[in-house]
Amino acid sequence: MKNDSGMQVQKYHVNDLPSATSEVPKHLQGKKPAVFLDYDGCLSPIVQDPDKAVLSEEMRSTLKRLAEVCSVAVVSGRDRANVKDLVQLDNIYYAGSHGFDISGPDDMHTEPGGAAAAIPALDKAQEELKERLQDVQGLFIERKRYAIAVHYRNVAEDQVPKVLEVVKQVISEHEALKPGPGKMIMELKPNLDWHKGKAVLWLMEKLELNKPDIVPLYIGDDLTDEDAFATLQGQGIGVMVGEHGQQTAASYQLEDVAAVQDFLEAIIQTLKP
C-alpha cells in the first residue's frame, strides 16, 4: 500500500510503538506542529451513547490554548455542526463527515470531495436500513449529512452478523456508497477518493502550512484515522490513541484521552516563547 505521496506505507503493532509524550517533543525543536485530532476516543472517551461524548472543560481549555500557538483542527466522522457544538471553540478548524465538510475561523466553510452527489443514495439507503433492521434491539442508525453510521455497540452479540450482512447488502445496491468500518460501527460513505488524510492535506495547503518549519501531527484512535496516519508517513507524525485491534500506520502511541491532554499540554509548553 502506498500513500498519496507514492511512499510505501509501513504498518506497526501499537504495542511496539514508542510513547508520543516522551518522543514527539524532540522532533518539534525549532519547529511548530499543525495539530489534527479525531474527537471520539481522543478528545472525549468512547461512550455507549454518542450524544453523551461531552468534552471536558479542562480539555476545552487545553485546545483553546493550543490553538493560540499553532493551527488546530478536529477531523471527525461526526457531522461538522455536531462536533463544533461539542467543542465550542471559534479559533480552531472543523472537518466533519471524514473531511467532506470543513469550516473554520473568518467564516471559512467549504465542502471539498464532491460528496453532495451521494446524498440521494444516502437517503435511499437510510430508508432501506431502517426497514430491514427495525427489529434489532439496541441498534442506532445515525444519519449524517454525508454518511450513515450504523452503531451496533448495544446490539446482542448473536444479532451483530445480521446487522453487518444487511449493511453489506445495502451498500452493494448503491454504487455511490462504500463501507467505512470502525469501533462497533459500520458507516455508509460516499464512494469517492476522499478521506481524513486528504482532508488534512487540503487544510495544510489552504492554510499555507506546507513549510519546512511546520510538522503536521495527527492524533486518532479508530480505523478511519488510518488514512491520515498513512498519508502523513514521511511528511508528518501519526499518533495512535489506545488500539483498534489491527496494525497501524501511526508511529507513536498514547494510552487514552487523559494521555492526549497531557501530550497537548507538553506541546504548549514546548511552543511557549
What residue has cell string 427489529?
Answer: 135
Catalytic residue among 16, 38, 79, 123: 38
Helix ranges, 46-174 (H): 57-67, 80-87, 119-132, 160-172
Q: What span, in angstroms and rounded, lies between the C-alpha atoms of 143 and 81?
A: 13
Output phi, psi for 102, to 5 deg: -130, 135
* Cβ atoms 96, 194 nearer than 8 A: no
Chain-centroid distance of CA 264 in Å reads: 17
Q: What span, in angstroms and rounded, lies between the C-alpha atoms of 103 and 256?
A: 27
Active site residue 107: no
* Cβ atoms 194, 118 nearer than 8 A: no
What are the residue numbers of the active site? Answer: 38
